[in-house]
Amino acid sequence: MLRTRLLVSYLLLILLPLLLLGTLFYRMSLGIVTDQAQENFYQIVKKNNEIMDVKLRQIDRISSNLFTDKELFGIFNQMNPSRKEQLLEADRKISAILAQRFAQTEDLFAYQIWTSYYRFGPQNMPQGNLTESPIYKEAKLAGGRLVWNPTYDFAKMFNQPWLNKAADYDYRYLFTATRLLNFSYLDNSTMANLDPGVERPVLAISMKADLFQHLFEDSIPAESQYFVVSADGTFVAHSEQRLVTQQIQDQWVYDLLKKGSGTQRITLAGNNMLVCFDRSDVTGWMSVVMIPQQVLVEKMVPVILTSTITIAAILALAAVTLAYFVFSRITGPIKHLMVAMRFVGEGDFHAKVEAKSNDEIGILIQKFNTMNDRIRVLVNENYAIQLREQQAEIQALNFQMNPHFLYNTLNVMNWVALENDQEELSRMLLCLSNMLHYTTRKDWDAVQVREEIQWMDNYFYLMDIRFENKFTVHVDIDPALHDGKVPRLLFQPFVENAIIHGFELMESGGIITISGRIEGDARRFTVTDNGCGMGEETITRILSGETPTVGIANTIARIRHRYGDNCEINIRSSIGQGTSVTIKLPFDT
């Protein structure tokens, strides 16, 4: 009787705490994994939206530049729609212009210019009467604003019912950006506009709806679903392709549209789902990812249950003969496990429990360590997402440089053409061609110092012609630095500031010195001028990013993003005493 009671007592003492610990462990693990996964997937959705927005903003920027395209202005202003040979010649020229503008932009399916009398650009789609399509009419009403049209059925949009009988074609589902082009350009300080009687054409840029499929399917679990929905409730993209272009029916989706961005847990068809959603800043469309909660824990639950049952059975048998031994062998590891679980619950995913045996307790500890490692991997993935977000921000800052510099260079060329009767135009065009080739290369991240020097030689030539020998330049950079890499256009904004502002009151005698030296484990570059200088207040505004000078602010931001705390930027100047800008960078690896 006593042995029976002792056995029952030990069984209760073993089974009840074990059951409690297993339940606590399961709930804590489930909560930690679910919360971390929900945040990680939310960051993935935001990152995917940012990637898509970068691509779409590039399309917006390029299409905006067409407004001032002088060649397109001339073609449409002199267009005679009744002359077929003129239309064909115009189509050839316009197709070449569009290809030059958009050929480097990824993911574009088609880019065309539409009028009521002709469709210019690639003629690879049977679009019928374009002027009757809703997207053409909406572009006309928008008056020059870029309109993003959600995914549509090509056959329905352009009234081509015969395509429904044909085999599946690769442009069945498209989404299109349209913009009314009211051309104008500056002609000798006078704004030239299209003649009143000239029809304003519509630019149409189309992309396949499966663009979203490539973006999402590689970043979410196979059992998950995704969809992109427009503000009016139309599916722009969906993991189930049959739903694309359909109108949403579920009220909870409309509720998400009102919120715009965030996470939510809902129950659909009896399944608990994690829902992560975020709205695009460019199109206003909302991306939604739905992950079944079961996917996150389906491998963890059987392990916990199996381990708990097995350990309970073995411990119950051992309690009959070796109660004290079993008690000591169980209590210690469980205490360590609970301490580690508390650290995990507080966010320390580096907590480890040493498995001193290969019994059931040891297996449980190993599984805990394995699970903890998996959670840490999720945290690292979240960190990687944050790094990619910083890279996207750097790229966005980089893209600001192209239009800013192009505007300044073209302005210089305009002055030369006006003041020198185009005598130096050929040489300038050659320099400008080299400069534009350099600034439009894809590897914006970093370039060799020798490439930067070559680019600055072209720039100084143009500036020297513009300001008629107003200044001289001395470049003294240690040859050992020539093969090292620096952010592109590192010196240009500071040199430009010296020429435009520093030498503003000087007729001649300006001196600019660009030097570079190795100092220990760092590189020190200096740009010095003998111009009019600046006060401490101006220097403070420049270094804090409050200066209205886009080029300098952009360059300082790019340097700090790339090197963080490992770089130094100092400006020394005073009124009438010139300016010295010092940039200290680590060696690029």
Strand intervals (E) in 53-157: 110-114, 119-120, 147-153
Cα–Cα distances (Å) from 213 to 236, 245, 321, in that order, read 11, 15, 62
**pLDDT(405) > 90:** no
**pLDDT(380) > 90:** no
Return the pLDDT at 459. 87
- The lowest-confidence range among 352-361, 407-416, 574-583 is 407-416
Q: What single string gives the DSSP state of each residue in 41-76?
A: HHHHHHHHHHHHHHHHHHHHHHHHHGGG-HHHHHHH
Mean pLDDT over residues 129-144, rounded? 88
Cα–Cα distances (Å) from 436 to 48, 196, 294, 401, in that order, read 30, 35, 54, 12
Taking only the tens place, the pLDDT of each residue in 297-346 is: 665 566 666 766 776 667 666 655 655 555 556 666 777 777 777 777 77
**pLDDT(134) > 50:** yes
C-beta pairs of 107-110 under 8 Å, 24+ apart in sequence: 107/55, 107/207, 107/208, 107/211, 108/59, 108/205, 108/206, 108/207, 109/171, 109/174, 109/206, 109/207, 109/208, 110/171, 110/204, 110/205, 110/206
Q: How confident is the model at residue 390 (pLDDT cuts 50, 70, 90)?
A: low
The CATH homologous superfamily to which domain 213-297 belongs is: PAS domain (3.30.450.20)
50 compared with 419, residue with greater pLDDT: 50
- The Cα–Cα gap between 130 and 149 comes to 15
Residues 261, 193 contacting (CB under 8 angstroms): no
Taking only the tens place, the pLDDT of each residue in 226-276 is: 899 998 889 998 888 888 888 888 888 888 888 889 998 888 888 888 899
Mean pLDDT over residues 346-367, rounded? 74
Strand intervals (E) in 125-211: 147-153, 173-180, 184-187, 190-193, 202-208
- The lowest-confidence range among 60-64, 71-75, 113-117, 395-399 is 395-399
**pLDDT(69) > 80:** yes
* Residues whose CB falls within 8 Å of the CB of residue 34, separated by 6 or more in sequence, listed in order: 274, 293, 296, 297
Q: Is 79 left (phi over 0), alpha (psi -120 to 50) or beta?
A: beta
Q: How confident is the model at residue 394 (pLDDT cuts 50, 70, 90)?
A: low
Residues 228, 235 contacting (CB under 8 angstroms): yes
Mean pLDDT over residues 449-468, rounded? 87
Return the pLDDT at 1. 47
Q: How confident is the model at residue 434 (pLDDT cuts 50, 70, 90)?
A: low
* Residues whose CB falls within 8 Å of the CB of residue 419, separated by 6 or more in sequence, listed in order: none
- The percent of residues above 90 in pLDDT, for the chain, comes to 17
- The lowest-confidence range among 137-151, 325-339, 349-363, 526-540 is 325-339
Residues 148, 179 contacting (CB under 8 angstroms): no
- The Cα–Cα gap between 230 and 91 comes to 34
Taking only the tens place, the pLDDT of each residue in 164-217 is: 776 667 778 889 999 999 888 777 777 888 888 899 999 999 888 878 877 787
Q: Give the distance between the most distant pair of CA atoms in the chain.
A: 118
Return the pLDDT at 576. 87
484 compared with 189, residue with greater pLDDT: 484
Q: Which of 62-66, 189-193, 416-420, 479-483 has the highest mean pLDDT?
A: 479-483
Is residue 472 within a helix (H) or strand (E), and if so which, with residue range? strand 471-477
**pLDDT(398) > 60:** no
Question: Coil, strand, or helix at residue 238?
Answer: strand
Q: Tell me whether the CATH fold assigned to 69-208 matches the one assigned to 213-297.
A: yes
DSSP class of residue 168 equals: P
580 compared with 12, residue with greater pLDDT: 580
- The percent of residues above 70 in pLDDT, for the chain, comes to 80
Q: How confident is the model at residue 401 (pLDDT cuts 50, 70, 90)?
A: low
| Of the options 3.40.50.720, 1.10.3720.10, 3.20.20.100, 3.30.565.10, the CATH number for the domain spanning 400-586 | 3.30.565.10
Return the pLDDT at 315. 63
How long a stretch of residues is the chain?
589
Residues 41, 220 contacting (CB under 8 angstroms): yes
Cα–Cα distances (Å) from 502 to 136, 221, 499, 571, in that order, read 51, 58, 6, 14
**pLDDT(400) > 60:** no
Mean pLDDT over the full length of the chain: 81
Residues 561, 396 contacting (CB under 8 angstroms): no
Tokens matching residue 200: 């304003």
Q: Pairing mode, if any, of strands 471-477 and 510-519?
A: parallel
**pLDDT(586) > 50:** yes
Q: Domain limits of the chain?
A: 2-34+299-393, 69-208, 213-297, 400-586
**pLDDT(2) > 50:** no
Return the pLDDT at 476. 94
Q: How confident is the model at residue 527 (pLDDT cuts 50, 70, 90)?
A: very high
Return the pLDDT at 188. 76
Fold of 69-208: Beta-Lactamase (3.30.450)
Return the pLDDT at 17. 78
Work out the angle between the directed axes of helices 401-419 and 449-467 (0-180°, nearest 10). Answer: 30
Mean pLDDT over residues 342-356, rounded? 72
DSSP class of residue 520 equals: T
